[in-house]
Structure 1
């Protein structure tokens, strides 16, 4: 099966360092990622390539989670996370560019269906991508309302 991807760009009225730190703090994930209930680090490493964490997902009928690993971490510039659960293998890449007092955040999300979801590809992957894309705009709205 092929990897599907989306590319988005959003300007958020937060300085680059503050936005990067917010997005990199996994304890914030549940506040702006609709499917995340909570996160926890799996080892002592934090915000470095190779650091691992688990996301517990909101799911009405059963507990669901994803294992995540930071693939690339360049402070205030780029963060890439590889995520795997029963249904999908995905890579989230966030790039941050200062724009005066704001930040342009570029997001690339690549996803490949796994398990039974392979049977309904591309529908499942496209639905997953759309849900994740909404999170970026939820982040913008939430952070700009705080100001």
Structure 2
């Protein structure tokens, strides 16, 4: 299993940042690999809710199924992501710090099969992209001010 931990401070109040990150319609704006998202079923932003992420530059052939595993408003959001190559558990934690928010991301990735040589590379790429996505998010949101 591979993992990363990243922390960033964003000049947005915790409630606004949490709501932005929790709105899956924003994922394609700040997550480089995501082209579009759609909810699966009727549940939204609650433990057990699922959505599909279509990956960019794949002609709608590659996608991931994401399930929210923990949802504590304005504090924590955890998502289990599964695609053909790996399973990833991502946790975003939010903490108010004056008028800003400290956002922490922990991601653990496990290849789905030890027999495919590309899986460790894909998992590492996913980890690095998630870390870069935080800095992209900060740049996008703080340039809106």
Same fold? TM cut 0.5? yes
**What SS is found at the alignment partner of 2:137?**
helix
Structure 2 segments unaligned to the other structure (5+ residues): none
Question: 2:51 corresponds to which residue?
Answer: 53
Structure 1 segments unaligned to the other structure (5+ residues): none
Question: 2:84 corresponds to which residue?
Answer: 86
CA distance in structure 2 between the aligned counterparts of 1:60 and 1:6, rounded to whole angstroms: 26
CA distance in structure 1 between the aligned counterparts of 2:128 and 2:44, rounded to whole angstroms: 29
Residue 73 of structure 1, CA deviation: 0.2
**What SS is found at the alignment partner of 1:128?**
helix
Normalised to the residue count of structure 1, the TM-score between the two structures is: 0.92
CA distance in structure 1 between the aligned counterparts of 2:24 and 2:115, rounded to whole angstroms: 27
The total of aligned residue pairs comes to: 145
CA contact (8 A) 2:85 2:122 kept: no
**What SS is found at the alignment partner of 2:48?**
coil
1:96 to 94, 97, 100: 94
Normalised to the residue count of structure 2, the TM-score between the two structures is: 0.93
CA distance in structure 1 between the aligned counterparts of 2:52 and 2:58, rounded to whole angstroms: 19
CA distance in structure 1 between the aligned counterparts of 2:140 and 2:116, rounded to whole angstroms: 34
The CA deviation string for residues 46-102 of structure 1, in whole angstroms up to 9 with x for no partner, is 000000100011134662110000000000000000000001200110000000110
